[in-house]
Amino acid sequence: MDLFEIIRKPWPWYVAGPIIGLTVPVLLLLGNKSFGISSSLRHICAAVIPANISFFKYDWKKEVWNLFFVAGITVGGFIATFLLTNPESIIVSEATRATLSQFGITDYSGLMPAEIFSIDNIFTLKGLIFFILGGFLVGFGTRYAGGCTSGHAIMGLSNLQWPSLVATIFFMAGGFFSTWILLPWLLQLVN
């Protein structure tokens, strides 16, 4: 198996997990930096919007490394999508397929179910709920929690920060609630 094939296939958790986890000590050793993605939006707004808003009045140039980090993630995502796409179909468990088929979700050809996340659904009730309301709740929750899941669960927990432990517990509880209670209710509502 050549290197190209190794990169194209999903890596097992025991390889990918430590690589992600090693970003924490590397960032700390290279410049006492904290890992997190959601703060980059604040840095972009502070750099681009010359408004008299106290939240955006800080020296964003000290955090410019974070913008390069996010740009690297974006470029890496495009490279992975267009050059390194895994030719094998996404594996979804039979139990999940059976549960979702009750709500008309049967297309697993992409990373997200096409019956929910497609261009055709943008201007429908389904699009309003999953794209607009869902996006707002993610953004609001990220700001309210003082960071995103990657910042709290990867960086905060590794630094033994109590607020990150609480946030991560509630991220997980919210995910379970959304998966088992909220999603089925919403899918019944929009179908």
Domain shared by 99 and 167, yes or no: yes
Domain shared by 22 and 97, yes or no: no
Domain count, the chain: 2
State both tokens at 142.
Answer: 């990220």
Tell me the three state secondary structure of residue 168.
Answer: helix
Number of residues in the chain: 191
- Residue range 116-138: mean pLDDT, rounded: 88
Which of these three, 54, 88, 122, is where a domain ends? 88
The structure tokens 């008299």 sit at: 52
Which of these three, 45, 64, 88, is where a domain ends? 88
- Residue range 168-185: mean pLDDT, rounded: 92
Domain shared by 73 and 155, yes or no: no
Domain shared by 171 and 145, yes or no: yes
Structural domain span for residue 35: 1-88
Band the pLDDT of 94: cuts 50, 70, 90. very high
Domain shared by 116 and 191, yes or no: yes
The structure tokens 């993610």 sit at: 138
- Residue range 126-130: mean pLDDT, rounded: 88
187 Cβ contact list (under 8 Å, min separation 6)? 103, 104, 105, 116
State both tokens at 6.
Answer: 């190794």
Specify the DSSP class assigned to residue 179: I
Domain shared by 190 and 161, yes or no: yes
Q: What is the pLDDT of residue 56?
A: 84
Band the pLDDT of 1: cuts 50, 70, 90. low
Domain shared by 83 and 97, yes or no: no
Residue 36, pLDDT above cutoff 80: no
Q: What is the pLDDT of residue 162?
A: 94
